[in-house]
Structure 1
Amino acid sequence: MKEESQKVTVAVITQQEKSRVVLPDSPSQMWVDGELHDYLHIPHDGSRVEIIDGEIVVSPAPRLMHNVICTEIASLIHGARSRDPSYRWSSVVGSGLNFIAVENGYIPDVTVLDAEVLQEALRLRQIHLITDQAEMVVEVTSPSTARQDRPSTGKQAGKGKWCGYARAEVPYYLLVDLDPAVSRIILYSIPDQASGAYLHEES
């Protein structure tokens, strides 16, 4: 039996107006159930609704270059699998990732996982993947999301997706940083749950 949870009021800002919405359940549970996006009346224009550090974060649809990079990464993995049936990896683009133990629900740009694990998730009709199923997540920065994707510093230390992935012990995190001042690709590994940080990086 599900306990009755407190109703939550959130502010929703659209281009047309600012309004308040009373949610019938916690934002994270509604995200897990696949109901939050529609309940907030966010247009289906590619906008993403995520729960990051317990807060609802709405991001605009990614830009063309962002999507091309994600498609290329996924294509490399699928191409390797089509050439070699013993290649065990598969990938999904823009699918939700449920953190279960904490109230987070991210939408990585690309999630890499064992092909058999993906088939089992499809067989079970999972709405989202869970962090234990992900071997690597990929985030491509956009102007609106870069702060969440990079390692956090200062007042934001310990927050954001980089820390969340490390706390969930996702083995690898590939960050494609498109900021012209940075413009690099970093592979983070050796996640440390206690510190919420990746202990190794290669760029």
Structure 2
Amino acid sequence: MTHKASGRPYTVEDLEGMPDDGHRYELIDGVLIVSPAPVPKHQKVVGEIFMLLHRACPTGLSAFTAPLSVRPSSSTELQPDVLVARDEDLTEKDLPVAPLLAVEVLSPSTALNDLNNKKAAYERMGVPGYWVVDPHELKLIVFELDVRGCYELVAEVKGEDAFEATLPFPVRIVPATLLGTWFDRA
């Protein structure tokens, strides 16, 4: 769901007044994006990706799960499901610059936004790597910035196929393992 402030774009300051109601409130160029609370399957995949990235993180980099705000301007604040950032780029409150990697896990209510608006926003921010995980199809889609600063599809793996990431550091992702015991129920 997206909303526009009456008469003016939203700012990150407006987000401070949003209710603590389980929804995720984000901004892209002053447009408010409200997402419902995630379901267990979504959270399971988020947790598994976080753990894989956390374990592989070299010194000086850290992996985080939402809610951690990426706030590059007063009109944009996103909370990727999982992100990797340089420790030196973090403040006490947020990440004011582009992360090295942003990961979004699709759900029926966020898929269109994740594949379009957020992808474009991350690209404009200069996020080097953007991963999209579809937990229903057990699929990982990987985009990386090319020399022009545009996202290029570099991999699409499903099920038991592995993606051997090099950006932002070496890590192996197998979509079928991201649901653990949920795989049998998927």
- TM-score exceeds 0.5: yes
* Structure 1 residue 9, shift from structure 2 partner: 4.8
Q: TM-score, normalised by structure 2?
A: 0.70
Are the equivalent residues in 1 in contact too, given 2:45–2:135 (CA < 8 A)?
Answer: no
Matched with 1:131 is 97
* Structure 1 residue 88, shift from structure 2 partner: 4.0
Q: Secondary structure at the match of 1:131?
A: coil
1:85-119 Cα offsets, whole Å, 9 max, x none, are: x544311110111122x7221110011112x326x
Identical residues among aligned pairs (%): 28
Q: Which amino acid aligns with 1:79?
A: R
In the alignment of these two chains, the number of paired residues is 151
Are the equivalent residues in 1 in contact too, given 2:12–2:77 (CA < 8 A)?
Answer: no
1:113-157 Cα offsets, whole Å, 9 max, x none, are: 12x326xx2xx42x221233x10000001111100111x4xxxxx
Structure 2 residue corresponding to 1:185, chosen from 140, 160, 175? 140
Structure 1, unaligned runs of 5 or more: 1-7, 11-21, 153-159
Write the distance in 1 (CA, Å) between the matches of 2:12 and 2:60. 32
What does 1:161-200 correspond to in 2, within 5 Å? 161-180=118-137, 183-190=138-145, 192-193=148-149, 197-200=150-153
In the TM superposition, structure 1's runs of 4+ consecutive aligned residues that sit over 6 Å from their partners are none
What does 1:12-23 correspond to in 2, within 5 Å? none
Write the distance in 2 (CA, Å) between the matches of 1:9 and 1:107. 20
The alignment's C-alpha RMSD in Å is 2.6
Are the equivalent residues in 1 in contact too, given 2:12–2:27 (CA < 8 A)?
Answer: no
Larger Rg: 1
Matched with 1:98 is 71
Matched with 1:143 is 108
Q: Secondary structure at the match of 2:11?
A: helix
Write the distance in 2 (CA, Å) between the matches of 1:29 and 1:61. 20
Q: TM-score, normalised by structure 1?
A: 0.64
Are the equivalent residues in 2 in contact too, given 1:78–1:91 (CA < 8 A)?
Answer: yes
Are the equivalent residues in 2 in contact too, given 1:77–1:89 (CA < 8 A)?
Answer: no
1:48 equivalent to 2:24? Answer: yes
Are the equivalent residues in 1 in contact too, given 2:41–2:135 (CA < 8 A)?
Answer: no
